[in-house]
Amino acid sequence: ITDEIDGRRQFTSFLVPKAADGVAITDGVEIDFMRPSPHCGLKLTNCRIPAANRLGALGEAFNAISLPMRRVEDALSAAKTAGAMRHRFRLLCQAAARREVTEDMELALGKLAAMPEALSAMAWRAAELLDSGRDDIDDTLSSLAAAARQSGKYVEREVEAFINTWDIEVSDALATANRDLVKSQGIAAYARDLQARKRGQAHLKAV
């Protein structure tokens, strides 16, 4: 943080040598999902570096790095969720096959099987837009990502209901897949809610 303007923090990026005085690698924040993917920690104590180590313009790191990366994350998020859903669906079917199969169970599984295809279609469209190089796609990417997340939340509710309705025995692998999908829906939830609110405001103003 190199400044604060009208209550908004200004971020600047710097290259910091790992061997510099005051640099310490820590265990980082404990993340209880998406294991074993680790999150590193970094602590800087009275660390001094040359001004020449600055990357980019002063106070522009968020706009130059975080916002463009968010576009990529929005474009790719539905694809990774679709893949995770397919993996979890296979585990769910294996567990369901150990119960008495009914027409209602088959119907419920059939509906769940279709959802990853919808997310894949959203991801494909988002990737096309991202690859187009156009500069007018941010709102569309944000909307596609939001639609994918809402679809994901619906699927999680339906999976929970399916498990409870047919008393499915949840294996460790299925429990892990469920937890990862549910937890991942909450990543950057506040920022996503702000985007949704802005969309709502824009539509109300357009009336």
The predicted pLDDT at position 115 comes to: 96
pLDDT, one tens digit per residue, over 172-201 is 999 999 999 999 888 878 888 898 999 999
Spans in the chain with pLDDT lower than 70: 36, 38
Cβ of 156: how many Cβ atoms within 10 Å?
16
Residue 6 class from Cβ within 10 Å (0-12 exposed, 13-18 middle, 19+ buried)?
A: exposed
State the pLDDT at residue 159.
98
Listed by start position, the domains of the chain span 3-55, 63-205
Please give the model's pTM, rounded to 2 decimal places: 0.80
What fold is seen in the domain 63-205? Butyryl-CoA Dehydrogenase, subunit A; domain 3 (1.20.140)
Q: What is the pLDDT of residue 205?
A: 96
Structural tokens at position 176: 């892990």
